[in-house]
């Protein structure tokens, strides 16, 4: 089981930003070769990112690279340059179908064989950001064992729909729900879109709490200041963990006595409630382990 509360984008053509990102407590970094890199800087960014992956990974960081989309001449070159030992996965923009995932998977596998790392070592984080991608979200999520999760690209989705992004986010409620449901159906991680106003911490926290309730397990971020607030919201509190343990212990005792439910603090606990409590305890352990790796 993998959990990424925060995945921070870092422009691939800016070495100083990449170096600084080493000290940010994001669960993963996404070194970007796509939208944040001008066309004239694509080659430079590719070289910088390729040279940075193993060093960052050796420090215990989980590294993804957002390559350019399959429709561009850059994608194949990007994948050949960045698939190497230490890379956690490729972030594939404009993912619209299972076939897109299969194409990327074939390119990744070819490089894995060429450089002698285990086939299947490199994961895929599918970036769904078009109406077609939303319609095919489950097929994308279930397309390959390499799929780590789906991330939502709200800006491009809004562009294709011809609507403006609003703070309330009504216009992206449906695609968010579609992605969350698809990811849970396929047992992969659901990662929400970026919050573009880096100075609005209250807005960021409110949005993160809302999408957590929709079933998202993590969020894309674009600034170091966004990392801690998002991490905190996706991290179970000590009180929540203690309550979850109480639920599990009470339910297991009830089952041992022949009952399928029990009352805990005045609320009924049955099998689904107990299972959620167990999942929360497992999540807390994973987050603690991940946080210790980041600190190291």
Residue 112 main-chain phi, psi, to 5 deg: -55, -45
Q: Which residue in 197, 200, 245, 194 sits closest to 220, CA to CA? A: 194
Query: Do 48 and 84 belong together in one domain?
Result: yes
Query: Do 184 and 59 belong together in one domain?
Result: yes
CATH of the domain at 182: 3.20.20.60
Residues 6+ apart with CB under 8 A from 101: 92, 95, 124, 126, 140, 143, 144, 146, 147
pLDDT of residue 240: 79
Return d(Cα 42, Cα 230) in angstroms, integer. Answer: 30
- Domain assignment present for 1: no
Query: Do 66 and 99 belong together in one domain?
Result: yes
Query: Do 155 and 220 belong together in one domain?
Result: yes
Query: Do 195 and 279 belong together in one domain?
Result: no
Return d(Cα 99, Cα 88) in angstroms, integer. Answer: 21
242: containing domain: 238-295
Query: Do 160 and 277 belong together in one domain?
Result: no
The overall pTM is greater than 0.85: yes
Query: Do 209 and 274 belong together in one domain?
Result: no
pLDDT of residue 255: 81
| pLDDT tens for the 296 residues of the chain, in order | 568 999 999 999 999 999 999 999 999 999 999 999 999 999 999 999 999 999 999 998 999 999 999 999 999 999 999 999 999 999 999 999 999 999 999 999 999 999 999 889 999 999 999 999 999 999 999 999 999 999 999 999 999 999 999 988 999 999 999 999 999 999 999 999 999 999 999 999 999 999 999 999 999 999 999 999 999 999 987 787 888 888 888 888 878 888 888 888 888 888 888 888 887 788 778 777 766 665 55
**Strand 267-269 with 262-264, pairing:** antiparallel
**Strand 28-32 with 63-66, pairing:** parallel
Query: Do 181 and 271 belong together in one domain?
Result: no
Q: How far is CA 175 from CA 42, 103, 141, 156, 265, in A?
A: 30, 24, 14, 12, 36
Query: Do 200 and 246 belong together in one domain?
Result: no
Residues 6+ apart with CB under 8 A from 47: 81
Overall number of domains in the chain: 2
Domain-ending residue, one of 196, 212, 233: 233
Residue 220 main-chain phi, psi, to 5 deg: -75, 140
Cβ atoms of 45 and 11 within 8 Å: the answer is: yes
Return d(Cα 223, Cα 220) in angstroms, integer. Answer: 10
Query: Do 243 and 104 belong together in one domain?
Result: no
Helices and strands in the chain: count of H runs, count of E runs: 12, 10
């Amino acid at each position: 089981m993998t959990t990424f509360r925060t995945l921070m984008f870092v422009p691939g053509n800016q070495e100083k930003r990449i170096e600084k990102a080493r000290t940010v407590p994001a669960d993963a970094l996404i070194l970007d070769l796509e939208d944040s890199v001008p066309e004239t800087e694509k080659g430079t960014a590719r070289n910088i990112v390729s040279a940075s992956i193993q060093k960052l990974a050796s420090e215990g960081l989980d590294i993804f690279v957002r390559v350019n989309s399959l429709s561009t001449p850059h994608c194949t070159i990007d994948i050949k340059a960045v698939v190497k030992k230490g890379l956690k996965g490729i972030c594939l923009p404009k993912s619209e179908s299972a076939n897109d995932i299969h194409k990327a998977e074939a390119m990744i596998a070819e490089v894995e064989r060429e450089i002698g790392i285990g086939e299947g070592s490199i994961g895929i984080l599918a970036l769904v950001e078009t109406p077609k991608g939303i319609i095919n979200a489950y097929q994308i999520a279930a397309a390959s064992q390499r799929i780590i999760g789906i991330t939502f690209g709200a800006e491009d989705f809004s562009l294709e729909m011809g609507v403006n992004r609003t703070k309330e986010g009504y216009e992206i409620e449906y695609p968010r729900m579609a992605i969350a449901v698809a990811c849970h159906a396929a047992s992969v991680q659901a990662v929400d879109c970026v919050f573009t106003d880096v100075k609005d911490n209250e807005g960021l926290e409110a949005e993160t709490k809302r999408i957590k309730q929709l079933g998202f397990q993590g969020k894309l971020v674009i600034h170091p200041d966004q990392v801690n607030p998002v991490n905190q919201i996706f991290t179970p509190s000590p009180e929540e963990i203690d309550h979850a343990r109480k639920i599990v212990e009470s339910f297991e005792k009830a089952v041992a006595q022949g009952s399928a439910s029990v009352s805990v603090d005045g609320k009924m606990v049955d099998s689904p409630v107990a299972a959620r409590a167990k999942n929360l305890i497992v999540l807390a352990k994973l987050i603690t382990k991940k946080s210790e790796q980041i600190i190291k």
